[in-house]
Structure 1
């Protein structure tokens, strides 16, 4: 799995490096919020709020490529064992997405697109209680499928997206994202 993460980071870096040498109107970076329905392999992680950054490069007027990284705010859950010991578990989730967008409507500052790509999701947990502590981390790859829209304003572009992330893996979730993108 570490090899998959390294490959994804290298691809994202190459896309970013190539994109920064492109014309200003073809490359956009942004930030926003994401709301995930929960990571499938941990039932305690439903309804997570995350912070997102992204960058996209327009190859043609209809096709763009890029990626985004979302860090979900850590969540803590307390459980009491049969013996009365309280155990607190804190979970942290992140996801890296490498996507392609196909813009099928682009008029009057409004663009509507479909998206598809690769998702890598990571989960870290730390448990403390009863005089001991334990930590664990895991990551896996899957596919993304969804759509979104952009609305161009004078200062930048407002975007909204919905997607099914990490399809084919145990960390599948439904994600709604929104934010602002700016041309470089």
Structure 2
């Protein structure tokens, strides 16, 4: 029974992917997080699912923020679905939604107590939108704005470039 379900799932997913845009993309981006008030760097992928929908996994590491004796750093892992609702020749707009894992690490030095370090991770949701700009090349610049809804809420602005693979 498991083999039959797996076989049917494979056939359905294969047929969905054949109707999608043919280009998978991978790229790099710069971001800014409103709560950590820091710039981050990251990687992003875009995998066609079916017409107008893509899966967009990403990873962003925000540079540590120093507050006197305390250093805070954040990274996030995202699994978004992008829905392209307007596609023109030179640009396209999309809405995004997905799941987010954010990890915050706080490290304190001093205070006569020695070194102290603690980290915590939370799962949340992403909601937002973005745009891609088509120059007819093998690469596509993009910009997006999203809000992370979790115990570590923050607004994140990303911009970068994706390469067709």
Shift of 1:66: 2.3
Residue 131 of structure 2 is aligned to residue 149 of structure 1? yes
Distance apart, 1:25 and its partner CA: 3.7
Distance 2:156 2:21 in 1: 29
Task: Return the alpha-carbon distance in structure 1 between the equivalents of residues 113 and 106 of structure 2.
Answer: 17
- The yes-or-no answer on 1:132 pairing with 2:114 is yes
Q: Deviations over 1:48-101 (max 9, x none)?
A: 1100111111122300012110000011111xxxxxxxxx11111000110001
Query: By how many angstroms is 1:163 displaced?
Result: 0.5
Runs of 4+ aligned residues of structure 1 deviating over 4 Å after TM superposition are: none
What's the counterpart of residue 69 of structure 1? 59
Corresponding residue number in structure 2 for 1:30: 27
TM-score where L is the length of structure 1: 0.75
Comparing 101-110 and 111-120, the one that deviates more: 101-110
State the alpha-carbon separation in 1 of the partners of residues 163 and 38 from structure 2.
26
CA contact (8 A) 2:100 2:125 kept: yes
Does the 8 Å CA contact 1:34/1:177 hold for their aligned counterparts?
Answer: yes
> Is 1:117 matched with 2:114?
no
Asked if 1:158 corresponds to 2:149, the answer is no
Q: In the comparison of the two structures, how many residue pairs are matched?
A: 146
Unaligned runs of at least 5 residues, structure 2: 1-13
CA distance in 2, matches of 1:64, 1:24: 9
TM-score using structure 2 length: 0.83
Listed as ranges, the gaps of 5+ residues in structure 1 are: 1-17, 39-44, 79-87
Aligned equivalents of 2:54 and 2:21: distance in 1? 14
